[in-house]
Amino acid sequence: MVTRFGKELKTSCLMFFWLSLLTGIAYPLAVTALGNSLFPQQARGSLLERQGVVAGSALVGQPFTSERYFHGRPSATSPFPYNAAASSGSNLAPSNPDLRAAAKERAAALAKDNPGAPVPMDLATTAASGLDPDISPQAAARQIARVAGARRLPAQSVADLVARHTAGRLWGFWGEPRVNVLRLNLALDGLTAAQ
């Protein structure tokens, strides 16, 4: 009985060692090497730079609050907005009165900037992750006058910049057109610096 137990223990230990080597070292190294060779930008976090300094990731929203920048979707993360360590939504159901009240409050605040114009849904509601880096073209278009005025730029120049940074549907049919807020704001800084 002791010898049978010893054989099973030895077999179990060997299996543990080989599976640990395979799944804990070999597989992650292979996937990392493959990712770095086929998708180097994405494997490194889709980091965007401004003048050689990392400004952020194109995959994670950032809190732009200045009138000179386009604003992203509201974030429900805590203790501060766009906290990647606390990625989550508010977990409030669409029928929850608190969720409705928060959306109405955001919409009312946005309506003051541009009275009479409809407020796009993505500017009044938070993303499921709280880290959404993109807004709809309608949400970007609604902010053009504010950003152009704050930077003393022609509204058409800012509108052209938004159009150039609007990505279509993935593969032509998947998802919705979108504008990456960080990419747009970095291009906006470049446009302002060039004038």
For residue range 13-59, list pLDDT tens digits in order.
999 999 999 999 999 999 999 999 999 888 888 888 888 889 888 88
Token pair, residue 62, equals 């950032």
Domain definitions of the chain by residue range: 2-40, 46-194
CB atoms within 10 A of CB 189: 16
- Per residue in 3-19, pLDDT (tens digit) is 888 888 889 999 999 99
- Residue 88 vs residue 54, higher pLDDT: 54
Q: What's the CA gap between 113 and 110, in Å, rounded? A: 5
Average pLDDT in the 83-92 region? 74
Taken as a whole, the chain contains a residue count of 195
Give residue 98's identity as a one-letter amino acid code: D
Backbone phi, psi, residue 180, to 5° = -80, 120
What are the helix (H) ranges across 62-180?
Answer: 97-113, 121-124, 137-151, 155-164
Q: How far apart are CA 94 and CA 110, in angstroms?
A: 21
CA 19 from centre of chain: 35
